[in-house]
Amino acid sequence: MAEKKTILRALAGETLPVPPIWMMRQAGRYLPEYRATRAKAGDFLSLCYNPELATEVTLQPIRRFGFDAAILFADILLVPQALGADLWFVTGEGPRLSTIRNAQDMAQLRDAGDVHDTLAPIYQTLRNLTTALPPEVTLIGFAGAPWTVATYMTAGRGTPDQGPAHALKDGAPEVFDALIARLTEATIEYLSAQIEAGAEVVKLFDSWAGSLKGADFERYAVEPTRQIIAALKTRHPDTPVIAFPREAGENYVGFAKRTGADCVALDNSVAPDWAARHVQVEGCVQGNLASSHMVTGGKALVREARAIVESFSGGPHIFNLGHGITPDADPANVQLMIDTVRGG
């Protein structure tokens, strides 16, 4: 049998001499070949639901850079759409959705078990990738964590402070809790189906976890993640889970233990040496170079990438950015990051 893939070794707790590397949003607008395929698809959602073209854009950064992992091309907001919400993207602005504000809105949503019809093309993309990817590359599936997806469903768009989600959570907790419960169940369904279609690892994006404090963090970031991971581990005990409670700060400490995650992804607001002492002691970590270095490049990129590798060299580590790469990034800086991590 071929040697186990590097990402899977790190996720199993192995300390590797060179950390495996991939990048959030590695298939994206900073790549000319992505922009060309997206133009062919027409728009972003058509690209997500077209298995042939979604497979193509997932492969593009693997061909160009030889990353150790490929992440499924899709979006966290496909789950609300599969539950019956309207979803569209306004060019240059971002997503728009129909909103959930009360029990009547909740009653319009489909059951969690009914998401698969809408999401079937996503599973087909994963099946395509299981044969299209080079054998050493790990295939990562993903979903949004319930809190983060709920912030978009309550506001109908992205918000700087997640105000509408906090308002519903505090003003009509029974409605908000029902929404979180529905999303938790739907996410279990969705990720199980992704694993059955070929995802070897799954990642939960909780991009707005940082706006939850104290007991709210426990209730809406830790608990849904714990439930999702527990259910996935029952059905698919060998599939590792990466959790990304972005900007959790001090709440990164103990997050893996409390949720059962095999790896915690770190944003770039936490210092690597601090995270090595307080988070990596509990298992694999992923991260955490500021994505701005993909725009600015140069000596600062090299210095910072080396410092991250060095800080995490005593334990299991997957190199990544602290957040998704931005459209204004230069692909040459991505290559410089990879060369620095792999070449010292």
Ligand X SMILES: Cc1c2[nH]c(c1CCC(=O)O)Cc1[nH]c(c(CCC(=O)O)c1C)Cc1[nH]c(c(CCC(=O)O)c1C)Cc1[nH]c(c(C)c1CCC(=O)O)C2
> Is 35 one of the catalytic residues?
no
- Exposed, middle or buried: residue 313 (CB in 10 Å: 0-12, 13-18, 19+)? middle
Rounded Cα distance between 132 and 125, Å, is 10
Q: Select which of 38, 182, 226, 246 is catalytic.
A: 38
In the complex, least distance from residue 340 CB atom to ligand X, rounded to whole angstroms: 21
Q: Does the annotation place 207 within a ligand binding site? A: yes
Q: Does the annotation place 26 within a ligand binding site? A: yes
Mark residue 233 as left, alpha or beta (left: phi above 0; alpha: psi -120 to 50; beta: remaining).
Answer: alpha
> Is 25 one of the catalytic residues?
yes
In the complex, least distance from residue 310 CB atom to ligand X, rounded to whole angstroms: 26
> Is 75 one of the catalytic residues?
yes
Q: Select which of 68, 75, 206, 262 is catalytic.
A: 75
In the complex, least distance from residue 174 CB atom to ligand X, rounded to whole angstroms: 26
Report the helix count and the strand count for the chain, using DSSP H and E: 17, 9
Cβ-based nearer residue to ligand X, 8 or 321: 321
Cβ-based nearer residue to ligand X, 73 or 176: 73
Please give the full DSSP string across 223-257, using - where no structure is assigned. Answer: HHHHHHHHHHHHH-TT--EEEEETT-GGGGTTHHH
Q: Select which of 30, 34, 49, 152 is catalytic.
A: 152
Q: Which residues pair with 96 in a beta bridge?
A: 88, 157
> Is 29 one of the catalytic residues?
yes
Rounded Cα distance between 134 and 59, Å, is 10
Contact between 228 and 236 (Cβ < 8 Å) = no
Cβ-based nearer residue to ligand X, 77 or 229: 77
Residues that bind ligand X (CB under 6 A): 24-29, 38, 44, 71, 73-77, 94-95, 142, 158, 205, 207, 324
> Is 182 one of the catalytic residues?
no
Closest residue to ligand X: CB criterion: 207
The annotated binding site is made up of 25-29, 75, 152, 207, 323
**Catalytic residues, which ones?**
25, 29, 38, 75, 152
The annotated binding site for substrate is made up of 25-29, 75, 152, 207, 323
